[in-house]
Chain A
């Protein structure tokens, strides 16, 4: 169940050239065994299996969020919040556990 993209440290839209480069690096680093690296390369070099692996291992949440742009309304560099006195009046003593 290894993710070949993660194993070879390649981006989702990596080209075959990128993949080959990463295969070389992975072989040298010896973080994974040669068989796993070869298997990962094989999966990513075949367009069908690559598409299947991409489908399995990449999650797209942007469509679920929709058009919401949270930072758009932010104009000031820093927020302005006034310090409340209410908490200052409280003792600094931690509450006893209930």
Chain B
């Protein structure tokens, strides 16, 4: 075989191996060809194959390294990675090697620590940790060091370690807390233990209970809200964990101390969460607390003003709260409590008005304020025996919220007989504290339908009945103003109220006499006519007749027949015979009726009949109209022939003479007839 042929064979073989990716054999084949015929191209191929072989080798090494690492043979893995890096370095490989080295160092130092701990030689343990931390700044290691220090009783050292490197593990938190407790920092101890996510040992709760008195002592020596927050939340955790023994006093203690601390720091917004949900009952001290807090909350956020004003009103009317001020230690002279109350009232009023000006107040709030202010003042003024009530007086909303409505209603009822002279005042106040109270409040702010729907069905007692009538009266008034025609039944249901209360009678009277929209008269007239059968005071009757007359006028203008309108006016006059409007209107109407009759008679050419009607009416105006008509007819008949004209003039004269013999036209007609006759 020639050298060329051998070269070609080797070269071709090399190419075949290269095509199949078998770089070692390809390289060998190319090297054989090189031996026969060295050339640049061949050299390049050999280099290419050598590189590919290196890469394959590196790839294989890395694969082996990963395999070793997976099996935990870090030393072996590190060696292989280093081998691969020697062949070709890459960033990830560098990082991988660095991590493995760290891991190996950590494992080494951890084993040193374990050996030291097994020897129970504290100094050896601490030295091992120090050495370990020099090698690796691993947070886990630091936490373990801290824990070891705590277990060794070196609490201050442990605190230093934990302070530099806070750990998030439960074990670290527990030991850190223990170190704090051991160095007199009881609040911090609880704070760290509160952060433990999973309490594996229920004995921890005993730690809590043991520390609580010391926590109290520490906080009393001077603490901010944060300290009390920790204590309060600690107690909450205990309760949540079911360890409620001995805690009945601690929870309110820390809660109110926390509240006090927040108050002193001016953190009013944080206070609300502690006060909610509202308790079912409020004691007097709690009332004072809630009133003040909500006042401040309302000053900063208007959404709290509605609750604030209810609590505020109740608080400032309960004198023991006003009497419990240190001003009495300073001012020896008597303090005018009413003046103080007025000042506090004005302060709340200012808050409300400011919020209203800034459009941050719901419309109903100011209405409620006026009602509540009026009622608590009225309740306070009544001569009641309220010794059974801790809080008295209070607003209706307060009574409803805190379950005092029934007690106050009972108190009022018990004194009913003694308050017979109070009359309206008793019912006015009692109504708002009765079961119908909420309905009345709704009605006051214009929610008529809701108020009606909320009325209690049982109205056997007189207060409930009164309340119902109040709501129905207001409802009827509203409906009447809106032009509702079927208001009679609502007014009749409120009849006892109208009969006994001059105030509401006067209100209805004034309403009827006011400048109402025309649509209001229809329903109102019918209702007042029905009421007049039961209410006979002169002003009421006058108002009823007035409204009925206006309604009749409206109907007449709308095309009602004269006969029907006449009946309406006569009904009004039966109620008030002196009604000027009814009288005048009826007169005018009767005049119209008469003129209709006169016109009819004249159309029938029966002048005497017409005259009879006019005479019966006695209306001078009708007489004038008649003479005007005759004068027109007289002109018309001038064109007639003599005989017919004479007949007509004779008739005219007879009629005119009967009505007014001295009338000018009568004389003229006489002279006309005389001339002819």
B333–A47 contact, CB under 8 A? yes
B344–A52 contact, CB under 8 A? yes
Q: Looking at the complex, which one of B140, B207, B295, B316 makes contact with A93 (CB distance below 8 Å)?
A: B140
- In residues 67-98 of chain A, which contact B (Cβ within 8 Å)? 68, 70-71, 73-74, 78-81, 83-84, 86-88, 90-95
Q: Annotate B279-307 by CB proximity to A: 1 below 8 A, 0 otherwise.
A: 00001111011001101000100000000
A71–B213 contact, CB under 8 A? yes
- In residues 31-84 of chain A, which contact B (Cβ within 8 Å)? 47-52, 54-56, 59-61, 63-66, 68, 70-71, 73-74, 78-81, 83-84
Shortest CB distance A64–B (Å): 5
Q: How many CB-defined contacts (below 8 Å) exist between A and B? A: 155
Find chain B residues with CB under 8 A from A87 CB: 170-171, 174-175, 200-201
B178–A83 contact, CB under 8 A? yes
B201–A86 contact, CB under 8 A? yes
* CA–CA, A47 and B333, complex, Å: 9
Contact A71-B169, Cβ < 8 Å, known A13-B329, A80-B210, A83-B151? no
- The size bracket of the interface on A is 35 or more
Contact A64-B252, Cβ < 8 Å, known A56-B292, A90-B200, A93-B169? yes
Q: Annotate B160-173 by CB proximity to A: 1 below 8 A, 0 otherwise.
A: 00000001111110
A55–B292 contact, CB under 8 A? yes
* CA–CA, A50 and B336, complex, Å: 12
Find chain B residues with CB under 8 A from A54 CB: 325-327
Interface of B is mostly: helix
B211 at interface by CB-CB < 8 Å: yes
* CA–CA, A55 and B321, complex, Å: 9
* CA–CA, A83 and B350, complex, Å: 59
Which residue of chain A has the shortest Cβ distance to B198 in the bound complex? Answer: A95
Shortest CB distance B221–A (Å): 10
B134 at interface by CB-CB < 8 Å: no
B326–A59 contact, CB under 8 A? no
- In residues 2-39 of chain A, which contact B (Cβ within 8 Å)? 12-15
Which residue of chain B has the shortest Cβ distance to A3 in the bound complex? Answer: B266
Find chain A residues with CB under 8 A from B200 CB: 86-87, 90
* CA–CA, A13 and B217, complex, Å: 26
Interface of A is mostly: loop
Which residue of chain A has the shortest Cβ distance to B284 in the bound complex? Answer: A63
Which residue of chain A has the shortest Cβ distance to B321 in the bound complex? Answer: A55
Q: Annotate B187-216 by CB proximity to A: 1 below 8 A, 0 otherwise.
A: 000000000011011011011001111101
* CA–CA, A70 and B248, complex, Å: 12
A73–B197 contact, CB under 8 A? no
B331 at interface by CB-CB < 8 Å: yes
Find chain A residues with CB under 8 A from B284 CB: 63
Find chain B residues with CB under 8 A from A92 CB: 140, 143-144, 147, 167, 169, 171-172
Which residue of chain B has the shortest Cβ distance to A74 in the bound complex? Answer: B213
B563 at interface by CB-CB < 8 Å: no
* CA–CA, A9 and B170, complex, Å: 45
Find chain A residues with CB under 8 A from B344 CB: 52, 55-56
Centre residue among B182, B253, B259, B284 by max chain A CB count within 10 A = B253
A88–B260 contact, CB under 8 A? no
Contact A79-B335, Cβ < 8 Å, known A84-B201, A94-B168? no
Shortest CB distance A88–B (Å): 7
* CA–CA, A68 and B100, complex, Å: 61
B150–A83 contact, CB under 8 A? yes
Q: Looking at the complex, which one of B167, B178, B252 makes contact with A65 (CB distance below 8 Å)?
A: B252
B256–A79 contact, CB under 8 A? no
Find chain B residues with CB under 8 A from A88 CB: 147, 151, 171, 175
Find chain B residues with CB under 8 A from A1 CB: 299
A48–B339 contact, CB under 8 A? yes
B347 at interface by CB-CB < 8 Å: yes
B677 at interface by CB-CB < 8 Å: no
Find chain B residues with CB under 8 A from A56 CB: 292, 295, 344, 347
Interface positions of B (Cβ within 8 A of A): 140, 143-144, 147, 150-151, 167-172, 174-175, 178, 181-182, 184, 186, 197-198, 200-201, 203-204, 206-207, 210-214, 216-217, 220, 249-250, 252-253, 256-257, 259-260, 263-264, 283-286, 288-289, 292-293, 295, 299, 316, 321-322, 324-327, 329-331, 333, 335-336, 339-340, 343-344, 347
Interface positions of A (Cβ within 8 A of B): 1, 12-15, 47-52, 54-56, 59-61, 63-66, 68, 70-71, 73-74, 78-81, 83-84, 86-88, 90-95
Add 7 more A-B contacts to A64-B283, A78-B214, A91-B169 (CB < 8 A): A56-B344, A65-B257, A70-B249, A83-B175, A88-B175, A91-B171, A93-B169
Query: Which 5 A-B residue pairings sit nearest by Cβ, starting from the closest?
Result: A94-B168, A63-B285, A70-B216, A86-B201, A92-B143
11 A-B pairs whose Cβ atoms sit less than 8 Å apart in the complex: A47-B333, A51-B340, A52-B344, A54-B325, A55-B321, A60-B289, A78-B214, A83-B178, A87-B200, A92-B169, A95-B169
